[in-house]
Each structure stands twice: as C-alpha cells, then as structure tokens.
C-alpha cells in the first residue's frame, strides 16, 4: 500500500530513533529479582560496594553510538508520581524505583542531550493518559528543567484511551503523541505506516506510531537471529511503501550483561537504515514534516 510521502533528499523511507527513560539506577530489589530469576552472580555483585555499578546509566554510550553514525534520537523522560498500594503488590513496580526528574544528575544529562541536538520529550506517567492535570504538570516540570517548550509525549506502558488521551494531550499543549504501537508485538499497528492526524487534516496534532519496541521484539522473537529477521522484514516493507519506522529502545537495555544482544540489534538497525538509504529524524523532525 504505497503512500504519497516525500522524505527528504529523495529517501524511500524513514527511521525515527527514540528512548524511553523509565529508570536510571538499578536498585537492590532489581538485583535480587534478576538473581533469583536467572541465577547469575553478576546481579548480586551490583549490590556490593566494591563492585557497585549502575548498568542503567547508558546515556553516554547511546550518545557516542549515535554520534558515530551522525544520527539523533528523542529521549522521553518520566516523572512518575503514582503511589503504591501496600496491600496490592501489583502496584509496586509502577511506584518504586523511579528517579526524581529535578535531581541535579538528571537535570545535567537532560541539558547535555538537549545541547547536543537530541530531542527531549515527556514520558507520561502511568495514570496521566486520562488525567489532564498530570499531563500539564509533567510538561511544565520538564520544560522548567530543559529551559524551553516541550512538544512531544509518549505514555508510560503505551497507555492510550483513544481518542480521549489524544484530546487531553492536545489540551495540555502537546503537538504530537508517540504511544500508538504494540506492547507485545512489532510492526505497523492497524497498518498505520506514517504519522496521522486523529482530528483531521486541518488540525496540527500528530500521532507518530511506534513500530519496534525492544521488549516487545524480544518477547515475540527471543533469539537474536529471529529478532533481526523480523526487523529486516519491517525494513523491506517500509522501503517498498515509504513508511516511517519508529524505534523504541529503553536506555537501560544498552548493557550486555543483562540484555545480551539488545544494544547490538540497535546498532544494526542504524547500520541497516544507512545502508538502505533511509532518512533519520527525531520525533520533532517528523512532526515538522507532517504538521
């Protein structure tokens, strides 16, 4: 289903690289959980002061990698405020272990990314997809950190209530949403191969579909080879149909010890996109082309 899209410089398709920043520090319960799950002593080592390390702080690694290939991405920063329910353990992963977005260390990396040409956007907290107050507060807080307007959002867990969430996001002042995608699969959800305007062509609010998310990819295709074959299938389809492939790679997975092969797949995505002559842009770049 070829579409009439003109990508810059005559490119046949496009790739938008993104990172959701859920957690920036590996807490003790993460180490214990992964040790019990895998039996690997590495996870317990991260608890001991002598070996203490932070395998989730991979911003420099990502910046160096993307700099190497001359591309830029969008970082979605989370400001989670959900309170745990003591008698409901299912709420614990949603409420514990998050960072303070105004922490000096977080502020420093956000400004460093912004100054280096990476886009900063909001990773909407778990309940914000149905809460205009949270959407406005999280946008305002991140803008105070970065020092200028933020135009984009992706909801935590890709939470969406269509079209209510998009209306609330627009009311809160966002220009685009990047939450439309699969949680447990990869590909073009509902065959949306390019960004679309949910409120009509005369409206500026844009939905940028998410095509490949790291956790969904390896959930459906656990082996490195099968995961890469699926990505190549998506690329071939995108190249044929002029599609946008939006890639979501959490910053914490660029750690070979805990996520073997995940970082290598991300680099191969960039290499393959360059080899095929794809246009690369941030979500903001994509918005500017479609608004």
- Over residues 34-51, the pLDDT tens digits come to 555 556 554 555 555 444
Six-digit token pair at 142? 């991140």
pLDDT of residue 29: 47
pLDDT digits (tens, 9 = 90+) for 255-271: 988 899 999 999 999 99
Structure tokens at 76: 């979605």
Superfamily assignment of 9-290 in CATH?
Answer: Glycoside hydrolase/deacetylase (3.20.20.370)
Q: Are 280 and 26 in contact (CB under 8 A)?
A: no
pLDDT in tens, 78-125: 998 766 556 555 555 565 568 999 999 999 999 999 999 999 999 999
CB 148 within 8 A of CB 117: no
pLDDT, position 109: 97
The pTM assigned to this predicted structure is 0.89
Strand blocks (E) in the chain? 14-21, 74-78, 119-124, 152-155, 176-177, 206-207, 212-213, 244-248, 279-281
In this structure, what are the phi and psi dihedrals at residue 227, rounded to the nearest 5 degrees? Answer: -65, -45
User: Hey, where are the domains in the chain?
Assistant: 9-290
Q: Is 260 exposed, middle or buried, given 0-12, 13-18 or 19+ CB atoms closer than 10 A?
A: exposed
- Other C-beta atoms closer than 10 Å to the C-beta of 14 total 24
| Digit-coded pLDDT (tens) for 187-196 | 999 999 999 9
């Amino acid at each position: 289903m070829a579409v009439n899209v003109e990508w810059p410089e005559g490119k046949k398709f496009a790739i938008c690289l993104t990172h959701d920043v859920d957690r920036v520090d590996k807490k003790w319960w993460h180490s214990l959980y992964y040790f019990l799950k895998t039996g690997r002593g590495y996870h317990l080592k991260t608890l001991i002061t002598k070996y203490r390390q932070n395998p989730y702080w991979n911003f420099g690694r990502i910046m160096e990698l993307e700099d190497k290939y001359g591309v830029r991405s969008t970082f979605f920063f989370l400001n989670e405020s959900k309170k745990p329910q003591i008698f409901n353990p299912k709420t614990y992963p949603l409420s514990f272990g998050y960072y303070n977005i105004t922490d000096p260390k977080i502020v420093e990396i956000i400004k460093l990314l912004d100054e280096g040409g990476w886009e900063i956007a909001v990773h909407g907290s778990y309940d914000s997809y149905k809460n205009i107050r949270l959407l406005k507060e999280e946008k305002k807080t991140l803008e105070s950190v970065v020092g200028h307007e933020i135009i984009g959002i992706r909801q935590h867990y890709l939470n969406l209530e269509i079209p209510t969430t998009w209306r609330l996001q627009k009311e809160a002042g966002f220009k685009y949403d990047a939450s439309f995608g699969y949680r447990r699969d990869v590909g073009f959800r509902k065959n949306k191969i390019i960004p679309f305007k949910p409120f009509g062509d005369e409206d500026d609010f844009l939905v940028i579909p998410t095509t490949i998310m790291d956790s969904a990819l390896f959930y459906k295709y656990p082996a490195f080879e099968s995961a890469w074959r699926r990505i190549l299938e998506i690329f071939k389809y995108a190249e044929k149909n002029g599609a946008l492939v939006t890639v979501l790679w959490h910053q914490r997975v660029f750690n070979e010890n805990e996520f073997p092969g995940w970082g290598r797949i991300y680099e191969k995505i960039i290499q393959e996109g360059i080899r095929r002559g794809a246009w690369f842009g941030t979500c903001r770049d994509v918005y500017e082309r479609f608004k």
